[in-house]
Amino acid sequence: AQSVTQLDSQVPVFEEAPVELRCNYSSSVSVYLFWYVQYPNQGLQLLLKYLSGSTLVKGINGFEAEFNKSQTSFHLRKPSVHISDTAEYFCAVTSGGGFKTIFGAGTRLFVKA
Amino acid sequence: DGGITQSPKYLFRKEGQNVTLSCEQNLNHDAMYWYRQDPGQGLRLIYYSHIVNDFQKGDIAEGYSVSREKKESFPLTVTSAQKNPTAFYLCASSKSTENNQPQHFGDGTRLSIL
């Protein structure tokens, strides 16, 4: 069975500092991986996705993520965060064996001035 | 612009009452989904539909019902059998049932008990 673990429930960081939000998954088959962002009282928006090919994926708002098959990880990074990046971030996985998307519990990113 | 519209944004339910949450999409997507979001628990799948007139239970379907009479619409009814309905409800859609398709989300409905 698939599962997704987001290793940090909250990540505080100062503005203009780099950030990494960690995500590990488990699946016995090939996977497709996604990161979504949720601003307060809104739905989720797609940040980026890994389907195949290059393991480094670039998304919107300067975010990128790296797929590491041996470590079953898909960590999200940004070299310099802004106050406006304060939000909750969700890692999600679907597998080649089924259609259902499994979401992690979310990581709340706080960017401080 | 294409997107998903959920209404109302806030909803209050009395004891023993059924309430219906609306979800409409103009993206021409085949698949639609309902999720429940509780703090610290991520998203849990309530129901999903891959095609008109067909839908399937997700992980937490008890106390909920849906219909899919039109491609654009996927309303969710929270019945009186759902004893803990207070949550944020999100509707989503995807182009197809292929599992490499990302989901598009509405802005949610927050349901509370009176």
pLDDT classification of B7: cutoffs 50, 70, 90:
very high
The pLDDT of B17-40, averaged and rounded, is 94
Contact assignment for A105 to B41 by CB distance below 8 Å: yes
Q: What single letter denotes the amino acid at residue B49?
A: S
Q: For residue A40, how many other CB atoms are within 10 A of its CB?
A: 7
Q: What's the DSSP call for residue B60?
A: T
Chain A interface includes B100 (CB < 8 A): yes
pLDDT tens, position by position, A82-101? 999 999 999 999 876 666 88
Nearest CA-CA distance, residue B89 and chain A, Å:
9
pLDDT higher than 80, residue A1: no
pLDDT higher than 80, residue B76: yes
Q: Of A42, A43, A99, which is closest to B99 when you measure between CB atoms?
A: A99
**Two structure tokens written together for B98:** 């292929």
Q: Which pLDDT score, from 0 to 100, does residue B1 have? A: 66
Sign of CA dihedral A30, B106, A108, A18: positive
CA dihedral A9, A15, A17, A20 (to 10 degrees): 20
Cβ contacts from A onto B, under 8 A: 55
**Best B24, B56, B100, B109 residue to mutate vs chain A (most A CBs within 10 Å):** B100
Q: Rounded to an integer, what distance in angstroms lies between the CA atom of residue B59 and that of residue A3?
A: 14
Q: Which pLDDT score, from 0 to 100, does residue B40 have? A: 77
Strand, coil or helix: what is A60? helix
Q: Which pLDDT score, from 0 to 100, does residue A4 have? A: 92
Looking at chain A from residue 6 to 45, which residues have their Cβ under 8 Å from any Cβ of chain B?
9, 32, 34, 36, 41-45
Q: For residue B38, how many other CB atoms are within 10 A of its CB?
A: 12
B105 in Cβ contact with B91 (< 8 Å): yes
pLDDT higher than 90, residue B63: yes
Q: Phi and psi for A28 in degrees, rounded to 5?
A: -90, -5
Q: Which pLDDT score, from 0 to 100, does residue A96 have? A: 63
**Two structure tokens written together for B70:** 């039109």
Q: Phi and psi for B40 in degrees, rounded to 5?
A: 75, 5
pLDDT classification of B107: cutoffs 50, 70, 90:
very high
- The β-bridge relationship of strands B10-13 and B109-113 is parallel
Contact assignment for B108 to A105 by CB distance below 8 Å: no
Contact assignment for B106 to A51 by CB distance below 8 Å: no
Q: What single letter denotes the amino acid at residue B31?
A: A
Chain A interface includes B102 (CB < 8 A): yes
The pLDDT of B14-22, averaged and rounded, is 92
Helices (H), B40-79: none
Q: Which pLDDT score, from 0 to 100, does residue B39 have? A: 83
Q: Which residue of A has its CA nearest to B57?
A: A100
Q: Rounded to an integer, what distance in angstroms lies between the CA atom of residue A15 and that of residue A75?
A: 20
pLDDT tens, position by position, A26-80? 876 778 999 999 998 899 999 999 988 889 999 999 999 999 999 999 999 999 9
